Amino acid sequence: MQPSPRPFKTDRRRASSDPAKLLNDALAGARASDDAMSSLPNSSRGDPTVTDRSGPARMIDLAAVQSGGLEEAAEEIARLNEALTGYQVYEELARGGQGIVYRALQHSTGRIVALKVLHSGREVTARHLGRFAREIELVARLRHNHVVAVYDSGVVLGRPFFAMEYIDGLLIDDYVLLNRPTVNECVALFVRVCRAVASVHQCGVIHRDLKPGNILVDLDANPHLLDFGFAKCFDDDELQSLSVAGQVIGTLPFLCPDQVRDKNALADMRSDVYALGVILYLLLTGEMPYPVNGSPGEVCRNIVEATPGTLERRCEPESESCAVGPISADLSLVVLKALAKERERRYQTADDFANDLARYLAGEVVEARSGHRWYLLRKTLRAYRWHVAISSAFALLLIGSLIGITVLWRKAEHAARTAQASLQMGALARLAGIQRDEGRIDDAILLYSQAIELAAQAPERNIAANRYLYTSHHGLAQLYIRDPKTLDAGRRHCELATALAQQLVRDKPEETEYQRLLAYSLRLEGRIAEKSQNWERAVSRFNEAAAAFQSLLRFADPDNNLPLEYEVGFSKQFLGVAQCRSGDSKTGMETLQDARWILQRVYDRYPQSMDYLMELCRTEAHMVEWHLRNKTPEDHRIAEAMVLPAIHRLSLAIEDGTAASRLPEAKRLLEDLKSHQVLLEKRLRGMRRPDPT
């Protein structure tokens, strides 16, 4: 295996201070890169998504600034400071394919922020603008300690920008190089990286460009994910308008084999899992899993065909660019499972990867070797080594103590079968979710059903198994209620999901996640009752769901409670409509007004969220509809004051691209609002017309 040439970053602390030397070195690297690029089709040359600009290209950028572009960079900063209110821009931090990142002071808060501004010039296309707008929207919806937070966004000099959390730290491979952590310290750090990626996935977002250059480690050794310029939502139909057919999205050495084999293959959570595997392999060994210093064609062949060696015999003590210490066979197998060529054989989620790494750190059974019976027994006996030692001592006196070992073995096997069933259920449930998000409904139903069948065959179910069983029943319920013919089946699955959530809450009352699951299933029961026109049950379930989400706000961080507030407002929207349709329009309108206030408050705090805007406008559309039914002048005046701002907000979101993630739905809602406006104007003209008598 060839040592990695480490082309994926430039450590600004170690960059040469000699501009001429830096520029010459960069040009030499760029010429080599150009020779390699010549093997690509003409349509791919110069594509910023094929190559990583943190190597020679970034060195040229840096050298240009140091050897003659400094004045131009200073002029650009001066232009930004003149045009940008609320910020003082200090210096350029980095350049990427999407934009330029500056260090700046936010006057209103007095904090240092990272300011990302889209590139200027004729080379910026509508596709670049669309992607930049998508990045702002996607990052704004993410909430995790290890994902950079977005504070603000706007337009300056005709170019969009956004302000985000400034992280003072090192790229993760620089951190390992300079701090030389032990293997276990490195793995513990990487578990937090995987958890951050998992939180991104749980928000419905795939990163698609994970690499060391997009992971910063701060001064407290906390990792942070950066650069969501190539990220996408699971259900991004409009993403096709931002991509070229067959275009490679991401950084080539970190792309998974399925995307390299088929440029039109859809990226999913397992694509990010593969990239995480490549990064961890690099951090542990100081090398890439396969040679990456050839032409792009050769690199592609290596990604698809080359088999990474086992890590346990690859970590040389004299290596200076990797974690310190030996690598066990268990850890090697965990990393290699993440690097499986077939996506079905990888960990299905970043959480699964993190969980197996955590098992390795705890000395427990790892999923990567869960099929080996003697391995399971050996690990279990090691966990109970003091019990075994005492039993062995007594065995010298009593042969009958062997019975205790036999019982222990049977317990270990039973526990292993239970754990294996739980892992398989989780994999099936998550894979079903992927199929559902990709529109393959029949496949999703089959996988959810297989997970439920597996649960019935398991020797017993632990809490994790019940959690996955909940996911399967809830997922089937969501799919079945789409068709009136399968509504009864959806109701049965939803009731089972509710019962499982209630059991989880009883087992772990301190776990707020399980209380949230219960609230989701109660709301889904309300939607099913609504479809059956069982208004009494619908009102009851929506009321319980709203109260459950409201109670969770007591445990939430006041600075990070917008998602929960949104769920309260969303549930009250359903409740208000159900109350109106049940005949209690007075209470229903009061509930809808509560929902409107909540959603307005949430939207005002984060106007970048299309979810918040959509449900605010939908609530207003419901209220306008019921005011129009009353046909009184007062109701018409209230409706008029409500419908015009809603139309304006939604129209603006569609025009400026904010609604891109939910464009078809936004257009339908806008048409409904405009229809209400037409009817309202007709009514108002009738009221203003003088009485002919």
Q: What is the pLDDT of residue 246?
A: 45
Which 3 state secondary structure label does DSSP give 596?
helix
Q: What is the pLDDT of residue 160?
A: 87
For 526-555, b where at least 16 C-beta lie within 10 A, e where not — what string?
bbbbbeeebbebbbbbbbbbbebbbebeee
Q: Which residue is associated with the tokens 């969980």?
A: 355
Higher pLDDT, 423 or 363: 363
Phi, psi (degrees; rounded to nearest 5) at 86: 95, -5
Q: What is the pLDDT of residue 177?
A: 87
Over range 358-379, report the average pLDDT: 68
Nearest to 321 by CA among 212, 223, 222, 209: 212
At residue 2, does pLDDT exceed 90? no
* The amino acid at 241: S
Domains observed in the chain: 19-368 (1.10.510.10), 372-509 (no CATH)
Which 3 state secondary structure label does DSSP give 645?
helix
Would you name the residues annotated as active-site residues? 209
Q: In what order do the strands lie in the sheet with 150-156?
A: 87-95, 99-106, 111-118, 159-165, 150-156
At residue 283, does pLDDT exceed 60? yes
Cβ atoms of 610 and 578 closer than 8 Å = no
Over the stretch 539-559, which tens digit does the pLDDT of each residue have?
Answer: 999 999 999 999 998 887 777
At residue 19, does pLDDT exceed 80? no
- Name the CA dihedral angle for 349, 351, 355, 357, rounded to a multiple of 10 degrees: 80
- Name the CA dihedral angle for 579, 580, 582, 583, rounded to a multiple of 10 degrees: 120
Q: What is the pLDDT of residue 596?
A: 95
Q: What is the pLDDT of residue 383?
A: 52
Higher pLDDT, 46 or 73: 73
Most confident of 365-379, 402-416, 428-442, 658-672: 658-672
Q: How confident is the model at residue 24 (pLDDT cuts 50, 70, 90)?
A: very low
Over the stretch 423-448, which tens digit does the pLDDT of each residue have?
Answer: 666 667 777 777 777 677 888 888 88
Q: Which residue is associated with the tokens 């990797």?
A: 322
Which range among 10-14, 326-330, 655-659 shows the weakest confidence by mean pLDDT?
10-14
Higher pLDDT, 460 or 677: 677
Separation between Cα atoms, residue 431 and residue 303, nearest integer Å: 24
Cβ atoms of 113 and 125 closer than 8 Å = no
Question: How many Cβ atoms are within 10 Å of 295's Cβ, its own excluded?
Answer: 15
Task: Give CA separation, 264 vs 249, 259, 261, in Å.
Answer: 10, 7, 9
